[in-house]
């Protein structure tokens, strides 16, 4: 066998080994589910507390692993956006879980089913798969697990190729907290995601790009596996005439520069009333300079990898070459390839067909688009794919309600951005090309449960009078029912 043959077969051998491990783990979890299909309230509570214990016990190691994957990730951002939501999210679910698990009574048609009763009983689906992106890998893996375990399921989680340090930590340490028939993590070593999405899960949760989401959904469809897709898109902010510009800038720029803009629900672009751009630019320069004296600040996060860094810098250069005005908001260099940090930028007059206007930015760049009437941003947003989030800024409740009614999006934060995602009792999800399905809150419990309808017949059934052969009584009764 020559070297070329070996090289050609090596990838197939690797994929085969990966697939065997995935299939074996799924079979292990399936058998465990069938042996014990409905964990008790106390068992689910213990699983949730164990998730919380892992996050608390390994807090520093988790922070360091994510920092290593990014090259430079703000410690405070990791604690605030990844560690806290999981710890707090477990506490929220534990307060509500007993009620969520209770069977629900439903009405019965007493004309035909006198004495019978109806219930909806939440039951575990079985084994849930999750494919997790790199931008908030702790939050997005463990938040899904909170609702997966609350619903009584088992879970397999596939991490991103950009989360190598974190994946290694999870693979090494989780077995001390959960057996593999309950929870297993997998690294992306090449081809894992493809094979993972082909598995016959009882539900599949994917968070990532629309392009990959389509491929995941197509693979899951072969098994008729239901999917929850949390995608992205160009989530707009609309600053209305009556809202203070400086106040809006403070809130918008906090969200836009959090994780250096690498958030699926961040503000992608901003619509400003005509004549307000100069005021917003002045406020932005002051605010950002105070928060990030330079891009070397440890509070300012790096771009995840070289590919993303080049994509963002090329988009800035393309916009500039096409006549856009780039406004750098921190002193010093505009970007640094060695550290993969890009200075926060505002972009004025980016052409409508430029990358910054047509593709999700996912970086610390905020295009500004002026409008003369609110009809302009409404029409522009509605002509494109439905965004994952909408951020209207106004103190007029009628204007806010009008924008909520006329512009569809996955979620809304009014007079702020992103904050709806941090509400434990609000469902989170997209619409159209920004995703489908929900998790978080009670809706998360429902997503990972089979809300099973059960009809209990009475000792005496009036339906017997409608058994064939149909006589005069059946004809008279049906005539009455359908009149």
Q: Which of 195, 240, 264, 433 is catalytic?
A: 264
Beta strands in 138-199 (DSSP E): 154-158, 183-186
Q: Is 225 a catalytic residue?
A: no
Q: Are 243 and 394 in contact (CB under 8 A)?
A: yes
Phi-psi group of 260: left, alpha or beta (phi > 0 → left; psi -120 to 50 → alpha; rest → beta): left
SS (H, E, C) 275-342: CCHHHHHHHHHHHHHHHCCCCCCCCCCCCCCHHHHHHHHHHHHHHHHCCCEEEECCCCCCEECCCCEE
Q: What are the DSSP calls for 353-370, one per residue?
A: TSHHHHS---SSEEEEEE
Q: At what angle do helices 164-173 and 59-70 cross, to 10 degrees?
A: 150
Which of 77, 188, 230, 360 is labelled catalytic? 230
Contact indicator for 224, 201 with CB cutoff of 8 Å: no
Annotated catalytic, 264? yes
Q: Are 251 and 286 in contact (CB under 8 A)?
A: no
Q: What sign for the dihedral angle of Cα 207, 377, 357, 82?
A: negative
> 136 near 162, Cβ under 8 Å?
no
**Nearest-angstrom CA–CA distance, 267 and 257:** 9
Residues designated catalytic: 230, 264
């Amino acid at each position: 066998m020559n070297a070329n043959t070996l090289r050609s077969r090596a990838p197939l051998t690797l994929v085969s080994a990966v697939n065997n491990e995935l299939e074996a783990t799924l079979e292990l979890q399936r058998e465990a589910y069938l042996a014990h299909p409905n964990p008790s309230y106390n068992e689910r509570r213990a699983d949730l507390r164990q998730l919380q214990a892992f996050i608390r016990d390994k807090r520093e190691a988790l922070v360091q692993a994510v920092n290593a994957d990014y090259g430079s990730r703000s410690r405070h951002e990791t604690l605030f956006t990844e560690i806290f939501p999981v710890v707090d999210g477990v506490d929220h679910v534990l307060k509500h879980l007993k009620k969520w698990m209770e069977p629900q009574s439903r009405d019965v048609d007493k004309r035909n089913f006198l004495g019978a009763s109806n219930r909806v009983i939440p039951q575990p689906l079985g084994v849930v798969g999750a494919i997790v992106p790199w931008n908030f890998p702790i939050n997005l893996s463990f938040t899904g697990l909170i609702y997966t375990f609350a619903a009584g399921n088992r879970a397999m989680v596939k991490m991103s190729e950009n989360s190598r340090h974190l994946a290694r930590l999870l693979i090494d340490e989780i077995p001390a907290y959960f057996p593999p028939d309950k929870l297993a993590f997998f690294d992306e070593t090449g081809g894992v995601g493809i094979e993972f999405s082909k598995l016959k899960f009882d539900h599949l949760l994917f968070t990532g790009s629309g392009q990959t989401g389509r491929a995941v959904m197509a693979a899951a469809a072969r098994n008729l596996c239901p999917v929850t897709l949390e995608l992205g898109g160009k989530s707009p902010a609309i600053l209305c005439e009556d809202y203070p510009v400086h106040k809006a800038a403070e809130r918008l720029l906090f969200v836009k520069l959090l994780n250096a803009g690498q958030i699926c629900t961040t503000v992608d672009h901003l619509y400003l009333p005509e004549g307000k751009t100069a005021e917003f630019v002045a406020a932005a320069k002051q605010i950002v300079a105070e928060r990030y004296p330079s891009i070397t600040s440890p509070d300012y996060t790096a771009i995840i990898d070289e590919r993303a860094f080049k994509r963002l810098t090329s988009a800035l250069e393309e916009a500039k070459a096409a006549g856009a005005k780039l406004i750098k908001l921190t002193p010093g260099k505009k970007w640094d390839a060695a550290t993969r940090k890009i200075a926060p930028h505002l972009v004025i007059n980016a052409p409508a067909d430029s990358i910054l206007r047509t593709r999700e930015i996912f970086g610390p760049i905020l295009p500004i688009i002026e409008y003369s009437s609110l009809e302009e941003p409404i029409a522009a947003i509605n002509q494109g794919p439905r965004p994952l989030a909408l951020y209207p800024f106004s103190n007029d409740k009628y204007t806010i309600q009008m924008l909520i009614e006329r512009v569809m999006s996955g979620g809304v934060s009014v007079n702020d951005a992103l904050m709806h995602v941090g509400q434990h009792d609000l469902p989170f999800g997209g619409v159209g090309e920004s995703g489908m399905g929900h998790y978080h809150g009670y809706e998360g419990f429902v997503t990972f449960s089979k809300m099973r309808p059960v009809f209990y017949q009475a000792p005496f059934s009036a339906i017997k009078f409608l058994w064939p052969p149909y006589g005069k009584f059946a004809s008279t009764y049906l005539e009455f029912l359908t009149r």
